[in-house]
Amino acid sequence: MIHGSVIVAKEVCKGCELCIQACPQESLGLSNQINHNGYRFAVLIKDNCTGCINCALVCPDAAITVYRQPKPVKQPTKVLESA
C-alpha cells in the first residue's frame, strides 16, 4: 500500500477547487484562511491520500506536490519460546 501526502503552495493556489473535485479519496478541502491574494487555498483535510497525483495533474497553477511512501507493514507479534 502507498501512503501519500500533498503539499499545496498556498500563495500560488487560486482556490479553484479543481483538485478537490479530482481527488477520489476526498482528501482535499479549502482552508478557512486566505492567502495574500485573498483566495482560500486547498489543504489536505484527511489522512487517506493514496498519492494518485490526480490533484497535481489537474491543478492549472502547478501548486501541488505529491509525496508517496510505502505504508509501514505491521509485523506479526513475536511469540517467545519457552525453554
Residue numbers at the binding site for ligand SF4 (CB under 6 A): 4, 6, 8, 13-19, 22-23, 25, 27-28, 41-42, 49-55, 58-59, 61, 63-64, 66
**Considering the complex, what minimum distance in angstroms separates the CB of residue 73 from ligand SF4?**
20
Residue closer to ligand SF4, measured from CB, 25 or 72: 25
Residue closer to ligand SF4, measured from CB, 36 or 78: 36
How far lies 26's CA from each of 20, 46, 82, in Å?
7, 8, 49
Identify the sign of the CA torsion 61, 62, 65, 66.
positive
Identify the sign of the CA torsion 17, 23, 26, 32.
negative
